[in-house]
Structure 1
């Protein structure tokens, strides 16, 4: 087995384990104290939202220029200067942060200001870790960085929550553990990077000045910054705005629902890693007819399997709440499940729209639409929070609208530039069957036992969808029920 294959297998295992751990915790542990969990879910997304400002694309530059700098024996010099750049950016960012709140003291009521002693150091640690994460990937080592990047945050959340709720540790003590996990992760990055190649600090700037390499680095980093900040803001701003405009309890409820809905995205896990080389090859060869065929096939796969899971979630969610501590709060927020679920399902239906753009010569357009998504999400969130009394339902509506517009723009762009589209008539058939299945399951009478309903309703949905698919031949389910498919889940 090659290094890439071994790394891919381990990477996938860690990814699935982290997903299951996060989902289990969100359903059975975190609901016991929605408010404290809401605080934890405010801290991390807020830090991540501001993170790109400090990193400023330097992490991506450590991938882009690695082979060139390694060839010249200056990769350690480039790494050192990148870390120094992050440190300088952080000092500038911190100065602007405090200057802003000094000039506009009315904003000191924000939770961002109240939690600055935790959020600001966390941003620095995450920024330095981001540089090491990308640097290590150059050595075709993705497993350890994946542990630090995806598993440690879940352990930090879970550990801090358990210390606070089960062991009676104070909030400050729990936050200290939370922050300590990221510090430990950062030290792990340093140790592992040093193991791969001994770290030799070198802050000499002569190499960057040579042939004005710094201009090329600055330009590339800037585009990386624009794309990254749009992505982070678009997908983290919800938790930030709920914490600021509503309360941490509502933020906890919203975060738990997101964790439940993450089941819909399971079909997508690992599939891009399999599809990326095919997409790249067809674009390079200009074979857009084959790209269109492949795009439609993968999009239908994602949509059908996502519909299957979403239908089960919709009919089972009310009964699942009966087994969750404070489940009544989740029941009251059930419209969020429907609104966000349909938006996520449409996202699956659009397949790899964004990846097609990013692998083509039009990759900069992704930055434009990502910034559009970020600004639209912020604007709509603010509108729904300040002009309505919908609470997290309004947040869900804002996110759904902006995400749908985002995907529609990419569909139109790809059709104009490449004459490819993810949408097929089979998707309409699948949507009709799923709608019928959900309607029948809801209309049929319930058992007295919530557990019986939790098993009976989703099973009924599965039966109707599979039966409809059998007669209408919409999707080749048999292709996904064989050994080769399950093996493919662990390829990278």
Structure 2
């Protein structure tokens, strides 16, 4: 087995273990104290939202320019300068941070200011770790970095929560453990990078000044920064704004619902890594007819399987809440499931719209639409939070609207530029069958015990969907599950 194959297999196993660990914890452990979990879910997304300002695309530059600098024996010089620049960026960011609150003291009521002693150091640690993460990937080693990137944050949340809720440790002490896990991961990156190749710090600037290399690095890093900040803001701002405008308890409820809905995205795991070479080849050869065919096929796969999972979640969620501590709070927020779920389904239906753009000569357009998504999400969140009393339901509506617009723009762009579209008539049929299945399952009588309802209603949904699919021949379920689906689980 090749290095890439071994690394891919292990990467996949770790990814699914992390997914399972995070989901089980979110459903059965964190609901025991929604407020404290809401605080944990405020800290990391807020730090990640500000992270791109400090990294400024330097992590991506360590991949882009690695072979060039390695050929000249200067890759560690480039790494050293990147880490130094991150520290300088952080110092500037910190000065601007405190200057802002000094000039506008009315904003000191923000939770961001109150938690600055934890969030600011976390930003620095995450920024330095991001550079090492990308640097190590150049050696075709992705498993250990994946543990640090995906498993450690979940262990940080879980460990801090257990210390606070069950062992009676103070919030401050629990936060110390939380932060300590990221420190540990950071030193783990250093140790592992040193194992791959002994690290020799070199802060000379002669090489990057030669032939104006620094200008190329600055340009590439800037575009990486724009795309990255749009992505981080768009998908982290919810937790930040709920924590600031509502309360941490609501943030905890919202985060748990997101964990439940993450099941819908399972079919997407790993599939892009299989499809990327095919997309790239079709674009390079100008075979847009084949690209359109492949785009429709993969989009239908994602949509159909996502619809099956979403339908089961919808009919089973009310009964699942009966087995969750403080499940009544989750039950009251059930509209969030419906609103965000349909937006995620549409996201699956659009398939690899964004990846097609990224792999084409129009890759910079991705940055434009990502920034559009970030601005739209922030604006709509603010509007719903300040002008309505909808709470996290308003947040869900804001996210759903911005995500749908985001995907709609990409559909139109790809249709105009490449004459390809992810949408097909089979998706309409699948949507109709799923709607019928959900409706029937909801109107069927309930048993007295929630466990039976939790088992039989999703079973009814599965029976109706797969029966309808059998007669209408919408999607080759057996072929997909036996071959492509399991390939997607273990190919990265």
Question: 1:364-392 CA distances to partner (integer Å, 9 max, x unpaired)?
Answer: 00000000000000000000000000000
Paired with 1:486 and 1:423, the residues of 2 have a C-alpha distance of: 24
Paired with 1:359 and 1:171, the residues of 2 have a C-alpha distance of: 46
SS in structure 1 opposite 2:490? coil
Paired with 1:484 and 1:466, the residues of 2 have a C-alpha distance of: 18
| Residue equivalent to 2:413 | 413
| Residue equivalent to 1:254 | 254
How far does residue 481 in structure 1 lie from its aligned partner after superposition?
3.1
Q: How does 1:15-94 map to 2 (within 5 A)?
A: 15-94=15-94
Paired with 1:290 and 1:152, the residues of 2 have a C-alpha distance of: 41
| Residue equivalent to 1:461 | 461
Paired with 2:176 and 2:35, the residues of 1 have a C-alpha distance of: 18
Paired with 1:218 and 1:451, the residues of 2 have a C-alpha distance of: 58
Q: How does 1:347-362 map to 2 (within 5 A)?
A: 347-362=347-362
SS in structure 2 opposite 1:482? helix
Question: 1:380-419 CA distances to partner (integer Å, 9 max, x unpaired)?
Answer: 0000000000000000000000000000000000000100
| Residue equivalent to 1:228 | 228
Paired with 1:247 and 1:485, the residues of 2 have a C-alpha distance of: 40
| Residue equivalent to 2:291 | 291
| Residue equivalent to 1:195 | 195
Paired with 2:88 and 2:367, the residues of 1 have a C-alpha distance of: 25
Q: How does 1:176-215 map to 2 (within 5 A)?
A: 176-215=176-215
TM-score (norm 1): 0.99
Paired with 2:129 and 2:363, the residues of 1 have a C-alpha distance of: 26
Question: 1:42-91 CA distances to partner (integer Å, 9 max, x unpaired)?
Answer: 00000000000000000000000000000000000000000000000000
Question: 1:181-216 CA distances to partner (integer Å, 9 max, x unpaired)?
Answer: 000000000000011111010000000110111000
Q: Is the 8 A contact 2:267 2:485 kept in 1?
A: no
Paired with 1:478 and 1:18, the residues of 2 have a C-alpha distance of: 27
| Residue equivalent to 2:155 | 155
| Residue equivalent to 2:118 | 118
Paired with 2:91 and 2:356, the residues of 1 have a C-alpha distance of: 37
| Residue equivalent to 2:335 | 335
| Residue equivalent to 1:428 | 428
How far does residue 37 in structure 1 lie from its aligned partner after superposition?
0.1
Moved more, 204-213 or 473-482: 473-482
Paired with 2:351 and 2:485, the residues of 1 have a C-alpha distance of: 18
SS in structure 2 opposite 1:125? helix
Paired with 1:257 and 1:386, the residues of 2 have a C-alpha distance of: 22
TM-score (norm 2): 0.99
Q: Which runs of 4+ in 1 moved over 4 A?
A: none
SS in structure 1 opposite 2:198? coil
SS in structure 2 opposite 1:421? coil
Q: Is the 8 A contact 2:269 2:488 kept in 1?
A: no
How far does residue 489 in structure 1 lie from its aligned partner after superposition?
1.6
- Unmatched runs of 5 consecutive residues or more in structure 1: none
Paired with 2:473 and 2:484, the residues of 1 have a C-alpha distance of: 21
Question: 1:444-472 CA distances to partner (integer Å, 9 max, x unpaired)?
Answer: 11000100000000000000000000000
Q: Does 1:388 align with 2:391?
A: no
